[in-house]
Structures are given as structure tokens and as C-alpha cells.
Structure 1
Amino acid sequence: MELPTGGTAWLVTRMADAQAVLSDPRFSNNSARDGYPVLQPGQALSADERTPIFVEMDEPEHTTYRRMLIPEFTVRRAKEMRPEIQGQAEELVDQMLANGSSADLVQTYSLALPSLVICGLLGVPYEDRDFFQSRVSAAVSLASSPADFEAAFADIVEYIGKLVAEKMDNPTDDVIGRLVTGPMADGKLDHERLSSIGALLLAGGHESTANMISLGIAHLITAPELRETLRQQPERYPDVVEELLRYHSIADVNVTRVALADVEVGGRLIRAGEGVAVSLGSADHDESVFAEPAGFDIDRRNKRHIAFGHGYHQCLGMSLARVELEIAYRTIFDKIPNLRLDVPLEELPFKYNGMLFGLHALPVSW
């Protein structure tokens, strides 16, 4: 494939090959390495110019930090948060209803709900959402220059850094607060690294989930038979969530690696120093794995998609995201069963210029 920033890389499209690449330590996720496939302008900066990002670390360094975070993002923890998330979703919908008979769901619901959740979880003031949402948007836009990308992420890191300093003086019972009083106090984590990890959690904790909420709602609005099934069988919402994740796979080719050695994948030799882009969307539509993959089927027996990635870099917050999506979809349609699009589906402003697919706006009425 031709890279948007110049050069070429291998494109991996089959499920087995994607899983092989993403679970093989001979493929590095460190974008500072020579040959790394640069999809986004900001990745073109040298290692000395860029803020270190936890998600781009290789083993064993990556697992060292990941283990500090795993207790905060377990299935059990996500389940415990259900009542709070349900209350937040209901309050947001009630506010929409009180404000009239139409709204842009991206701003009033899709972005607001995961922002509330991640702010509460991390210990970030929700009133600062306009600032960090604007910086995250710049960081994931393919239109951003290298300088814009780095400035956007650096702003978030600086913001989290100030919160870390505050929590050092006044400990709080939240993820960042517990990292301050735990690993950081024990010398296992320094201020700079914690700020970077916190920035990544803040960015990833709302942007991807917000995109899936918008796409899922738009999808369900245009599927009345499926909505009727869900009205009669609300216990099927988890199945809908899994199929929406597979069907849309919003990260798509946002997963890149560089070979550290000569490796054969799918019968092709990828040489050391050559870049690889893994298409999660293509893998999740692999006809050898999913029957009629272009169709939307909540009765699929095989639900093992890789929308959250695969291997040791698999999304840390996937259990929380699943809970948020299920609650977001069910709550909006329970409270507003006559929800409808204000424009035809094909005319919605889809995000074709970002690292994550989604919607810039979702105008609806009821």
C-alpha cells in the first residue's frame, strides 16, 4: 500500500494474518524505529521531538506499565460502573428532551456520555471537556501537520501533568489518584510517564467510544426491524454491540508495525525494516471467518472480531466500552423510540479524514 505520508508498506487484510502480526514480538509498535509505516503526520517526528506514548512501547516495557492499569479496567470494574453510567445516560437524554424536539447527538449524547465516564474514572474535571476534546480532535486528524499533532498531544500531557501535581498534594480516589499514591509513590512511575499515560487514557477513553455510539445509533435508526427485536428482547443488546463493533471496526488501518526480523506472513516474506499496516476492518469482514461478512447479523455464532485489536496491545478499556455502548444504545431508544435522522444516512458528515471513523454530527429529531 502507498502511505499517505509517503513510502509503502505491507497491508494485512486476513484475520489469521492480522492476528499473527499483532501477536508476534518480531513486529514493533515503536514509531521511532526506521521503516515504521507513518499514517499520520505527527508520527513523522523523530523520537527526540515526540512525547513518549505508552501505547507505542514494545515488550517488556509495555507490559510493565499495562499491569499497573489492568485492575482499573477489568470486566468486574466495568460491571460495577453500570448503575452510574446508566444514570448519566438517562440524564443526558432527559436534558435533550427538555431542550426541544431535535439535537445533534454527537455533541449532546455520543461525546458527552463517554466524556463523563472517563472524567469520573480518571479524576478529570468534566468542565474542562471543551479543551481536551478539541485537542484530541486535532491529534487524530489526518489533516494535522506534525507540529499540530505534537502540540495537541503535548497540551493534553501538560494538562494531565498539572492534575498529577495537584493529586500529589491532595490524593484522590480515582485512577490517576491511585497511580500517584501507588506506583508513582513506589518509584515505579515518574511524573512524565504518568502524565503521558493519563493523556492517552483520556484521549482513548472517549473519542473511540463516542464514534461507535454515533455510528451505532445511526445504524439502528435505519433498521426498524432490528429495533423492534430489541424492544421485545432487550437482552440482545450485547449481541448488537458485538456486531456493530465488527461491522464498523472504526480503527481500520490505524494499527501499524515494523518488522524487526524477516518474517513470513500469509506466504509472503516481510523483511526486517519493512512496515506493516493491519486492516482491522478487512479482517473483521474476512469471509473465511464470518459468513456473509457484509451483512449485519446479531445471530452470528462467531463473534470473535478484532475491532479492539489483538495481542498484548489489545484495547485496555474494551470491557468498559462494551458497557457504555450497550447502555447508550438501549437508553436512547427506550426513551426516544421515534428517533429519526434529519438527513438521509448517506448525507451524514462521516469522518473520512481521521484515524478513527465516525461522524462529525448526527442531526436527529423526534
Structure 2
Amino acid sequence: MQRLRFAPLPELERMRDREGVESVRTPFGSTAWLVTRHADVREVLGDTEHFSNQVRRPDGTPGEAPGGLPLMPGFLLSYDPPEHTRLRRVLTREFTAKRMRRLEPRIHELVDEHLDAMQEAGPPADLVTEFALPVPSLVICELLGVPSGDRAAFQERTGTMLDVGRGEQARTAAAAASRVYMSELVTRARREPGEDMIGMLVREHGDDITHAELVGVATLLLIGGHETTSNMLGLGTLALLEHPDQLAVVRDDPAAVDTAIEELLRWLSVVHASVPRMATVDTTVGGHRVRAGDLVVCSITVADRDPELGEDADRLDVTRRAASHLAFGHGVHHCLGAPLARMEMRIGFPALLRRFPGLRLAVPDEDIDFRSSHLVYGLNALPVEW
């Protein structure tokens, strides 16, 4: 557990204010340096020379991917330059803001369809299962060519993979099943490339990217493409409901929405921490000695509330124009899908709030079920009425 509702645990904030870099025990049993100040986190995330994403065990064998998942080719979060640069260059063309804008009409359609269904069914409704989860899930499924009938199964596998509380055996089995499914999807795309992203990658870069790399890339995009955005939509709605003045800004002022989304991203930072990195040489972080082979983990949640970012950084203020947040990471591993995520939120939040101007919680505030054991923070359910 790393949160108390929206806020980081007080101990993590004290750690940031006290030393900024301290040795901790990770949920997976290893020891790591936890970096909590914004400037230090940016330094670590931006430095691929001294900090490697290719974590190794003491015997030199490959370690584990984020969340204890087995490593796989193409899983960009476990790559360093120059291999990371090669794969990232292939994908960057598919994730430009211009190409993402082609999806905008479809995102509007999906948002309206799900709001229509909620309105027709009437209150109460679970905003997570009826809006926040299916919209980003359908977008990324369509982007990658995943048949709609397979969506529920892939959501279940992804949820298990990212739930630390499920245990290593369950998470490993879910990861293996996901690889099998994605391998079949890539095989079909190589046989008959469609107009989806995998088909485009096969047609345009089929000789530059292996089957196994395509499987890893597709797996990462499926996980990142719906888990983070769906949790932002659910958790962000709850945050706005608890701050009615902020909600009114997002609902009523189209010119304020972009700034509001950046503040919600900063204030919520649904990805608790960075992928563990391994120091490649003896170095220093925040004045602390870090030796070659040491693991380093960056707390995004605490860093994005660092007082250095501005006055009263613990307060949600959707009109704030704060320094750049770290919700999408930093450096070469900055989230590829950031333009798509921003678009989904820019469309989703105002549409929801305008459709249901009387939106409110359908249960007492203390009954809200937070996903405390997940690597991506959010809500298991958000019962609402209007």
C-alpha cells in the first residue's frame, strides 16, 4: 500500500522531506534505493548511461520486468539504448499526435455510446465498469486489432498481472497466457495484415522487428493503453466529485480542460513508481552514494507533489500551470501513448460531467474501493447516481 486515498503515505512524504533517497525493501523482496524528490527522479529517469532498465540478478542472469513479470523481447520498459532506440523509432511514427487525432472521432463515438447506455439504464451505475474501463480498452483494442470478443479475457489477465496481491504464481500464469494470446494475434497479422497498428508495423517494418518483439510491444501497449487511462478516468472523476469547484471548471470551460488534465495527472500520478533501474557504475543520487549493481526505484507519486514544483503542491488546483509532471515518465522511456491518453481524458471528462450535471456518489465516501495492491492505482468500482 502506497496511498491514503489520493495522497502518498505520510512516511513517503517524510522520506522526501528528510533525505530524498533511502534504502527500502520492495514488494518483491529485493532491496532498492527509493528516490522521492522531483529533481532527483528526473535525473535518474533521464540518465540511461548510469542507470539501466535491464535489471540483472547478482549472478548476471536477467532479472524481472515491472511488477515481477517475466521479461520478454519487445517489452520496451526493459530495454536500454541502442536496442530501445531502434524499437522506439519504429513505434514513434505510429504514436504521433497527428496519427492519434485520426482516432478522435471514434473516441467521441465510444464515449457517447457508453454515456447513452448509462443514461438509458438509469442510476445507479458503476462508472468504472460502464465507462472508465471500457472506453480506453475499446480504443486500444481497435488500435491493435484485438477482436472485441477477446476484450474481457485480456482485461482479466492484465488485472492479474498488475495486482501484487495476487501472488507470483498467478501473475506469472497470466503473463504466460497473455504472451500466447498476443503471439496468435501477431501470427494472424503477419498472415493478413489489417489496417490496425500491428498490421501497419508488419507491412512497414516486418523485416526490422521480429515476431517475439512484436508480441512484447503489443503486450506493453495493451497494458499501458488501457490500465493507466481507465484508472485516471475513474480516480479523476472521484477527485473532481470531491472538489466541486474544480469539477465545474472542467465541465463548463472548454479552454481550461487541457490544463486541468495536466493537474489531474500530476496530482493523481496513478503509476506509483518507475520501473526498477540498476546502477551500471558507482554514482550518486541526491548526494547519496549508489554502487554499481544497486537497484533504484523512483516514487512518481511523491515526486509529483514535491514542494519544489510550486506552492501548496498537495492541493488539487485544475487551473495550476505547474512545472512538468512525471506521470508519463521522463527521458527515453516517456510514455509513447501520452498523446492518446490525453485525448481520451480531454474528451471523456467533459462529456461525462456535461451529460450528468448532477453526478454524485451513490455510496458513502468511506465505502469507495481503492485498488491498493495494484501497480497502477485506481478504483475497483465507483458507484454513482445523478
Question: More displaced, 154-163 or 64-73?
Answer: 154-163
Identify the residue that residue 128 of structure 1 maps to in structure 2: 150
Distance 1:7 1:173 in 2: 43
Summarize deviations over 1:187-209 as a string: whole Å, max 9, x none.
21111111111111111110111
Offset of 1:230 from its aligned partner?
Answer: 3.2
Change in CA separation of 1:31 and 1:228 when aligned onto 2, cut-off 3 Å = same
**Counterpart pick for 2:243 among 214, 218, 223:** 223
* 2:217 maps to which of 197, 200, 203: 197
Distance 1:168 1:4, change over 3 A: closer
Q: TM-score of the superposition, structure 2-length normalised?
A: 0.88
Q: Find the aligned partners of 2:217 and 2:55 in 1 and give their Cα distance.
A: 17
Shift of 1:76: 1.6
Distance in 1, matches of 2:139 and 2:65, equals 29
Runs of 4+ in 1 over 4 A off after TM superposition: 35-41
Quote the Cα distance in structure 2 between the aligned partners of 1:239 and 1:87. Answer: 24
**SS, match of residue 193 in structure 2:** coil
Q: Note closer, same or farther for the CA distance 1:40–1:123 as it changes in structure 2 (3 Å cut).
A: closer
Q: 1:21 aligns with which of 38, 44, 47?
A: 44
Q: Distance in 2 between matches of 1:283 and 1:64?
A: 30
CA distance in 2, matches of 1:100, 1:339: 12
C-alpha change, 1:157 and 1:357, in structure 2 (3 Å) is same
TM-aligned CA deviation for residue 18 of structure 1? 0.4
- Deviation per residue, 1:14-63 (Å, 9 max, x gap): 111001111112101123444999797635x6xxxx43433211111111
1-structure distance, mates of 2:199, 2:255: 36
Q: Which amino acid aligns with 1:111?
A: L
Tell me, in whole angstroms, the C-alpha distance in 1 between the residues paired with 2:161 and 2:101: 30
Q: 3-state SS of the aligned residue for 1:9?
A: strand
| AA of the residue aligned to 2:82 | P
Q: Which of 91, 96, 120 is 1:74 aligned to? A: 96
Query: In the TM superposition, what whole-angstrom CA distance separates every residue of 1:250-295 from its partner, at most 9, and x where no partner exists?
Result: 1122432110101111111111011111001111111012221111
8 Å CA contact 1:115, 1:126 repeated in 2: no
Partner Cα distance (1:268, 1:85) in 2: 46
1:190 partner amino acid = T
CA deviation profile, 1:140-189 (whole Å, cap 9, x unmatched): 010233332222122122112112221222220110001111212xx211
CA distance in 1, matches of 2:242, 2:229: 20
- Report the CA distance between 1:221 and its aligned residue: 1.6
Is 319-328 or 341-350 further displaced after alignment?
341-350
Q: Which residue of 2 aligns with 1:139?
A: 161
Q: Could you tell me which runs of 5 or more consecutive residues in structure 1 were left unpaired when the two chains were aligned.
A: none
Matched, 1:2 2:2: no
* Structure 2 residue matching 1:59: 3-state secondary structure: coil
Aligned equivalent of 1:42: 68
Task: Give the stretch that moved more between structures: 111-120 or 74-83.
Answer: 74-83
Cα distance in 2 for partners of 1:239, 1:197 equals 30
Structure-2 change in CA distance of 1:9 and 1:59 (3 Å)? same
* Conserved? CA contact 2:32–2:296, under 8 Å: yes
Aligned AA for 2:374?
G
CA contact (8 A) 2:56 2:278 kept: no
- Residues 3, 37 of structure 1: 8 Å contact kept: no
Separation in 2, partners of 1:38, 1:168: 29
C-alpha offsets along residues 67-120 of structure 1, whole Å, 9 cap, x if unaligned?
111111112222332222111101110011111222111111011000111011
Asked if the contact 1:96–1:103 (Cα under 8 Å) also holds between the matched residues in 2, the reply is: yes
Q: Is the 8 A contact 1:118 1:202 kept in 2?
A: yes
Answer yes or no: is the 8 Å Cα contact 2:256–2:319 preserved in 1: no
- The counterpart of 2:383, out of the listed 359, 363, 366, is 363
Aligned residues: 359
Q: Which amino acid aligns with 1:2?
A: R
The structure-2 alpha-carbon separation of the partners of 1:37 and 1:306, relative to structure 1 and needing over 3 Å to count, comes to: farther
Distance change (3 Å), C-alpha of 1:32 and 1:301: same
Which amino acid in 1 is paired with 2:72? T
Q: Matched residues in 2 for 1:314 and 1:19: separation?
A: 11
The secondary structure found in structure 1 opposite 2:384 is strand
Aligned mates of 1:174, 1:32 — CA distance in 2 = 35
Match of 1:316 among 308, 317, 336: 336
Aligned residue for 2:125, secondary structure, equals strand
TM-score normalised by structure 1 residue count: 0.93
1:51: which partner in 2?
72
Alignment of 1:224-239 (within 5 A): 224-239=244-259
Q: Which amino acid aligns with 1:70?
A: T
Structure 2's unaligned 5+ residue stretches are 1-23
AA matched with 1:42: G
Paired residue secondary structure (2:128):
helix
Q: Which residue of 1 aligns with 2:193?
A: 171
* Equivalent of residue 138 in structure 2, options 116, 125, 144: 116
Q: Which residue of 1 aligns with 2:5?
A: none
Cα distance 1:193–1:232, how it changes in 2: closer, same or farther (>3 A)?
closer
The separation in 2 between residues aligned to 1:358 and 1:112, in whole angstroms, is 15
From the superposition, tell whether residues 223 and 75 of structure 1 become closer, same or farther in structure 2 (CA, over 3 Å): same
Aligned amino acid, residue 42 of structure 2 = Q
The answer for the alignment partner of 1:180 in structure 2 is 202
Counterpart in the other structure of 2:313 = 293
Amino acid at match of 2:40: D
For 1:339, the aligned partner's letter is L
> Which amino acid is 1:132 matched to?
F
Residue of structure 1 in register with 2:183 after alignment = 161
